[in-house]
Chain A
Amino acid sequence: MAEEVLTGWRGWLESAGDQSVFLTRFFRNIFRGGFEWSEFVRQCYEIGYKSAMLVCLTSFIMGLVLILQLRPTMVSFGAESMLPRTLAVSVIREIGPVITAIICAGKIASSIGAELGSMKVTEQIDAMEVSGANPVQYLVVTRILATSFMLPLLAMMGDAVALIGGYIALNITDKISFLLYIHKCIGALDFTDYMPALIKTVFFGFAIGFVGCYKGFHSNRGTESVGIAANSAVVTSSLWIFFIDMLVVQITTLLYYS
């Protein structure tokens, strides 16, 4: 029993050490010469453009459902006119970035984990390394930077689509002009709503890219490990997203609201 616990802790510490080394390798390789621009652009396309439809669809439904769920309660308080403001604040500050990040963790972290895991199993990463090329620079730096760059853009797009979804839901029962709706939404928001939300999406993107790459790069030999890497990448990056969210909310509250 004690030995089992000890082995578990030792494994956890080893993994933490490996991740620190991997993080150091990532930062060291960003500033080395020969940045892989074409691969970075390709990854932005794969990660950003190819996830856009999914993010839009889920954000639209989320905005629509939020209004449908909120409306009866708001009506009972006689606060119907507050619906656009409530939706805007909740979507921009919290729900939009987190839902976008969770969707991307499911789609992108798993795909990076599986791709790099499969490259590891088929010795493609070893082949890159022994040829004298730099697999971290080509595979890891480009992917992590692409997720960090694309997540804020996806989240902003998701926020906008969620607000459109909310407008359509509102117009099912009430009549409100689009201009008035947008005016109310924007009027409810200020700098302290936009910026922390935008900044945290960069960290969400970083966590998704980093965890996906780490899990793929460190998968064992054997086809089963590819599935394990993909699965583990989703679970771990989702946990990191909630953890980062909690930290950012705490810091924002301390900075702006205390």
Chain B
Amino acid sequence: MEAVKNTREKPQWRSELKKDEIVIEIKGLKKSFGKKEVLKDINLTLKRGENLVVLGRSGQGKSVTIQCIVGMLIPDGGSVKVFGKEVSQLSEDELKELRTRIGFLFQGAALYDSMTVRENLEFPLTRVLKIKDKRELDKRVEEVLDAVGLPEAANKMPSDLSGGMRKRIGLARTLIVKPEIMLYDEPTTGLDPITSREISELILKMQEKYKTSSIIITHDMECAEITSDRVVIMNEGEYVAEGTFDDLKQSDDEFIRSYF
């Protein structure tokens, strides 16, 4: 099976978007835990409709960066702006409102294990979007389950699902509220190569369907190749390289080449 490489022409919806509209802008981001300086000086922008892959070894602060974007962690310094708003200065209600526009797929999918798949999917609809109409809930659940290719899974418990299926349902739960930005935290970690490829292709498919802008944290090169429009490489709390996947692949820098 040959991997679907993201060298396609930009689809119609992307050219219709406001070009160069920046949805996430990070400047001089710093974050330490105790004496360990995890993020030293991170500068990053995400444009609307773009898929940005952040590559780097484990423990380099990739996940910390996206946790700062959704306000789970408060930066020690620098600025994180999402849709032009400084995240650290938002009130609790404003942060909650912002989070409804951002989807976050956790490494382990983080499904609520005391609930069925249907209840997992309905949770953000009833609690965040306050949808109470049963028909509307059913329609949305069916639509998103079809989109991730698991229409029969609605009544299963998370413990009955395989790793790949859990990731798909996690993705479905995130996409069901139709976020504008998707943050993926190592979406293919712990999966076999075939399932990893399926998840990477699903990310691409979902981006087309839901017209999201995405940051994908990974150290899976195939995932990066399939999903990326742009790649940044992170090392010791700093970004060391940026470009398209093919550009970086042909780089003369030994450190960058070591990833490929």
Contacts and interface: CB of A to CB of B under 8 A. Distances in A.
Contacts of A128: 112, 123
A134 B124 CA distance: 10
A132 interface: yes
Interface string B187-211: 0000000000000000000000000
A127 B106 CA distance: 7
Interface size class on chain B is: 20 to 34
Contacts of A122: 108, 110, 113
Contacts of B141: none
Contacts of A254: none
A221 to B, nearest CB: 12
A18 interface: no
Given A126-B72, A126-B106, A127-B104, A132 B99 contact: yes
Contacts of A119: 112
Contacts of A34: 127, 130
Contacts of B107: 123
B100 interface: yes
A130 B99 contact: yes
A131 B177 contact: yes
Interface size class on chain A is: 10 to 19
A119 B99 CA distance: 20
A138 interface: yes
Interface string B65-76: 000001010000
Interface in B91-126: 96-97, 99-100, 102, 104, 106-108, 110-114, 123-124
Interface string A110-137: 0000010001001110111111111000
B110 A123 contact: yes
A133 B174 CA distance: 12
Given A123-B108, A127-B106, A133 B72 contact: no
A188 to B, nearest CB: 45
B128 interface: yes
A130 B97 contact: no
Nearest to A134: B127
Contacts of A130: 70, 72, 99, 102, 104
Given A126-B72, A127-B104, A138-B127, A132 B110 contact: no
Contact of B124 (A115, A123, A131): A131
Contacts of A134: 96, 127
Contacts of A131: 99-100, 104, 123-124, 127-128, 173-174, 177
Contacts of B173: 131
Contacts of B72: 126, 129-130
Nearest to B70: A130
Given A127-B104, A127-B106, A133 B128 contact: yes
Interface string A57-70: 00000000000000
B8 to A, nearest CB: 30
A129 B113 CA distance: 16
A130 B97 CA distance: 10
15 contacts: A34-B127, A122-B113, A123-B108, A124-B113, A126-B106, A129-B72, A131-B99, A131-B104, A131-B123, A131-B127, A131-B128, A131-B173, A131-B174, A131-B177, A134-B127
Given A132-B99, A134-B96, 16 more contacts: A123-B106, A124-B111, A124-B112, A124-B113, A126-B72, A127-B106, A128-B123, A129-B72, A131-B100, A131-B104, A131-B123, A131-B174, A132-B97, A132-B127, A132-B177, A133-B123
Interface of B: 70, 72, 96-97, 99-100, 102, 104, 106-108, 110-114, 123-124, 127-128, 130, 173-174, 177
Interface of A: 34, 115, 119, 122-124, 126-134, 138
3 closest A-B pairs by CB: A127-B110, A132-B99, A133-B127
